[in-house]
Chain A
Amino acid sequence: MRDETDGRLVRRVLAGESQVYARLVERYRDRLGRYAVRMLGNVADAEDALQDTFVRGYRSLARCTNPEGFGAWLFGILVNRCRTYAAQRARRQAMVMLDESAVASASVAHSEDRDAWREAITWAVDQLNPDQREAFLLKYVEELSYEEMQKLTGTRIPALKMRVFRAREELRRLLEETVRG
């Protein structure tokens, strides 16, 4: 019965079949994982945020008022968890004193290479401030509408549009510099 809907699985968990939650975890692991990896810039932090999200989702499952929309509901929890993890990481990095110039030249040195292009993108996205990175990923990678983004983040649409605009400009500048380098 792999085709059971989210709603049915959620209702089974709420009826006491807690092991059924594993099916929802498997279903959304990679889908949510993409956002977490892009937002946090590394798999280890992304997995921590994901695990936290799934556990919080389970604890709050009775408040999922639309079980068929479980995926979107859980994504809302993930977006918030990623914010927290990004803030924690920013504090850690501030202490480590990351040498940005060294990272930038490493990307430039391999800019012909496809993998290096990916690395450059990861690096460039990571340079955005968390609010801009979140807005850019939600808009262009997750392809949400501004209305959906507003609902998810609690930020008003004009502010979201500004963040997306700034993120695009900054990303373009960073990537063009990398390619030219």
Chain B
Amino acid sequence: MTEFLQTGLTAHYNYWIYIILMLIGLWAMMAKVNLIKKIIGMNIFQTAIILFYVSIGAKKGGTIPILEHAPGHGHEYIMDAALYINPLPHVLMLTAIVVSVATLGVALALALKTYREHKTLDEDEILSHLSE
């Protein structure tokens, strides 16, 4: 147990941060009754996933995945895989960020529509309206 905690705190603490962040988002989505708070929870959840992916791509001693010019005045580039961090998670998350904004927009539109219909954003009240 102590060994697990030690490796966790020294080598895997980044994953623990994302797990806690993800659980905060999940908690908001499950336990909160206000629809806007649920949407905010969804966004926190998405942020946790984005951070998780970006941290997978990290390499000790690596720089951003844009090729750098070799020393001198030539047009040569340094192309050593150990010097650059993994570009793939960055590509995936680049699109995921924009898509998360788009889903946020649609979610807010649905919440607004619900509010116009029921005059409340409280989930329990909406359910009691619907069952009447």
The answer to whether A and B assemble together is no
